[in-house]
Structure 1
């Protein structure tokens, strides 16, 4: 769908039978893929900045501005809510900024270079783990408290992914194992296309002999 079938199969690993080294190297929609990648990175950056930097600083600033005569039992609750709304706005903005910057950057590459870059992104297992956990955590957080909850969910997802990449992966089996082993992957898109072309010719020749 929309030229993203191979990307989707690799990202989700829901249908490993649909994946093989040739399919993994098919990049029919590189601009869409780089926009998705830019969205992921922007969302992750916005969540970390919003949750770990902007929120505490803005909360400290608003708390400092509170005057004793204006303070009520709900003042700190209002400040916390205001800061969480700020986090949500940052996250929302990242859905526009991320793909825009990625697409702008992609104009510096030829289509072949961009396709190979997208292919290399598909092969970055640790980064894929972070992106997958971002999606899972973000969806759970969204269900909990919409954009404000999504920020917390994404931060939890990123934290778990980093812990998994640096610690758990050494001692446990991965929950979502990529089907295509490193040794079976092509070096680049062109190599995969050449192999597929030779294979198609061989199969066509064999079919012709069987007629």
Structure 2
């Protein structure tokens, strides 16, 4: 049986941007870069080189300063170095979601402990932009409809890497409605639990961040119990 890494690496490193996006929406595909392909190989080879099923933690679609640069979900260049031990030459980038996620990773016991149980991913695997700014696949109906077949295939393909179908963790309250719709159609997961999106927490609820961090950790431990 191939390992999680042996399936994830070729998937990411051969991703192709969709050709059917609305004319003012663009997808960023970092996986064409040899430096990103090396990071993908090192990251998955380090943390996913086994056949253990992971609990999927699903965001919306990547930000241009996180996975849009490194190819690793919710992971900026600096957090890739600091928390994952993977050196890279990319310049440091600001990404609120990555800041919070890696506080969660550390609180859970570090990258090896976290990634040994969870797979961070998104409903759509590539960063989207509009007018040079981050864009969500659900921000307009035309984009959602154009990407829905790709979203379905993204999740269908990734669960084959090795997943725990008992539960999935959804990041984002609005994202939840789309994941539930997808799950109603496809029956990927038995149960979905939802947490507030990291970007929302750091953008609007900074004062309450310790409470949200505790909520994340409690929920994650409940998922693996």
Identify the TM-score tier after normalising by the shorter chain: under 0.3
Greater per-residue helix proportion: 1
Greater per-residue strand proportion: 2
What TM-score do the two structures reach when normalised by structure 1? Answer: 0.27
What TM-score do the two structures reach when normalised by structure 2? Answer: 0.26
